[in-house]
Amino acid sequence: MNSRRDFLQKLGLSALALQLAPLSNWAAETKTIEPAYDGPMLRVAILGLGGYGGMVAEAMRSCTKAKLVGLISGTPSKIKTWQAKYGIPEKNCYNYQNFDNIKNNPDIDAVYVITPNGLHRDFVLRVAAAGKHAICEKPMAVNAKEGQEMVDACKKANVKLLVGYRMHFEPKTLEVIRMRQSGEFGKIRFFQGQCGFTIGDPTQWRLNKQLAGGGSMMDIGIYAINGSRYMTGEEPIWVTAQETKTDPVKFKEGVDETIQFQFGFPSGAVASCLSTYNMNNLDRFFLDGDKGFAEMQPSTGYGPIRGRTHLGELNQPVTTHQTVQMDEMAEIIFNNKKPVVPVDGEEAVKDLKLIDAIYQAVKTGKKVEVSI
């Protein structure tokens, strides 16, 4: 159990701190009787030491079941900096050419691939060949064919393939899912997912078709796609989509700027979603049923998630998403724990099939039937 002091620091409310002072004393008194975690520690190497890799590394400082023990990068200076910061031994550091040698390193259990999308497949195949569990950022690949190859390779190597779906462990998100499963919203009729921001540097990898696999859909759009599935509890059976491009210089051929897309579900429910690199303030989910609703805004951001339902505000605790994710993944790898919403490669392939269908609908202008 984390200390009450840490809890109060996160809240930053002095008045509430005073109210909770007696509880702080109680927590301090009872802390000694709580058993410390003594199970296996998931020892992770991060492959790709960029901005998000750094966020994961920082979050892992607070993990109780996972630990950063290795580094893989194409930039030697980054490795040196991270070694000093996180105390990583030289024997656990690799570059992109020699990291296949991790097969001989018993101190690394898993490799977390955090690189541009276009590199995910090849790196995960190498991780599997080395006999290590693979964790991969989302979207897992640039299309469903590549994603399935990754799933098959990990199965053949008898290692797990997990994907960084951090929202699948977020408390407010899980509460909405629980309410939907228990029928508190009634029959689900409609979902709306709005995901977007105004992208900056036109030379970055996210606007490079080869590295990104597309544009906004291959970055921020994955949240609305995946969210439509876990919020409704259904799998789409048809897709329609429309693309808008206002800047063909910045958003070159094959790099989408804005896509609106719609899903139809077996129950008759529909989803209306937006993925964009040209609008800010878009991070919202809305779920509507015939007995109630849920609205989340922000719905998928790195900071605190906020939401409300027809019953009032959601007040589940604020967590560091990546810390919870990595601890939960340790449980999945070591104890075969089944999360409420899957985070395995098969789950990711379903999203990739929908991305393929969205791009097909944009290209043809027709409704695309899907079966995932």
CA 185, CA 274: separation in Å to the nearest integer? Answer: 23
Q: Which residues are catalytic?
A: 138, 223
Q: How many CB atoms lie within 10 A of CB 27?
A: 17
Backbone angles phi, psi at 227, to 5 degrees: -65, -35
Which residues sit opposite 288 in a β-bridge?
A: 190, 293
Token reading at 370? 């899907």
HEC sequence for the chain? CCCHHHHHHHHCCHHHHHHHHHHHHHHHHHHHHCCCCCCCCEEEEEECCCHHHHHHHHHHCCCCCEEEEEEECCCHHHHHHHHHHHCCCHHHEECCCCHHHHHHCCCCCEEEECCCHHHHHHHHHHHHHCCCEEEECCCCCCCHHHHHHHHHHHHHCCCCEEECCHHHHCHHHHHHHHHHHCCCCCCEEEEEEEEECCCCCCCCHHHCHHHHCCCHHHCCHHHHHHHHHHHHCCCCCEEEEEEECCCCCCCCCCCCCEEEEEEECCCCCEEEEEEECCCCCEEEEEEEECCCEEEECCCCCCCCCCEEECCEECCCCCCCHHHHHHHHHHHHHHHCCCCCCCCEHHHHHHHHHHHHHHHHHHHHCCCEECCC
Q: Decide: 93 and 71 in contact? Cβ < 8 Å.
A: yes
User: CA-CA distance, 141 to 352, in Å (whole number)?
Assistant: 7
